[in-house]
Amino acid sequence: MRVYNPFQARVRKEVRILTTIRVRKRDRRAEDFDRSKIEKALRRAGASAETARDVARDIEEDLRTTNTATIREKAARLLRATDERAAREFETYRRDGRTREETRRAA
């Protein structure tokens, strides 16, 4: 018999929320990504149904998949716009939670 674990249920819900892709429209509205819209546009441009489906699927996968380097680069770029010093420290931040300067002082 499986025991209900509220923490596990909450984690599943958070994962589902985090996998929703939001798209910023030209008029600045945000809406959920809808793969069928890009498929439809590709079909109108002359792509076969299979090609449109494959391209749209690849686009969606690219939007869902990222890596830590990309996240760190974006975080540093956004931080640099408001706090250059903090951005430099963030860029040198290490996995152990210490900045390069803190690592030098400890040595």
**Residue bearing the bigger pLDDT, 98 or 13:** 98
Interval 64-91 mean pLDDT:
84
User: What pLDDT, in 10s, does the model give residues 12-54?
Assistant: 444 444 568 888 988 999 999 999 999 999 999 999 999 999 9
Mean of the per-residue pLDDT values of the chain: 79
Q: Mean pLDDT throughout 2-9?
A: 54
CB 78 within 8 A of CB 72: no
The Cα–Cα gap between 66 and 75 comes to 13
Alpha helices (H) in 1-107, listed in sequence order: 6-18, 35-44, 49-64, 68-80, 84-92, 100-106
Predicted confidence band of residue 3 (pLDDT cuts 50, 70, 90): low
Give the whole-angstrom CA distance, residue 55 versus residue 53. Answer: 6
Closest by alpha carbon to 71, among 91, 94, 99?
91
As a whole number of angstroms, the distance between CA 23 and CA 62 comes to 13
> In whole angstroms, how far apart are CA 26 and each of 10, 29, 60, 63?
34, 7, 19, 18
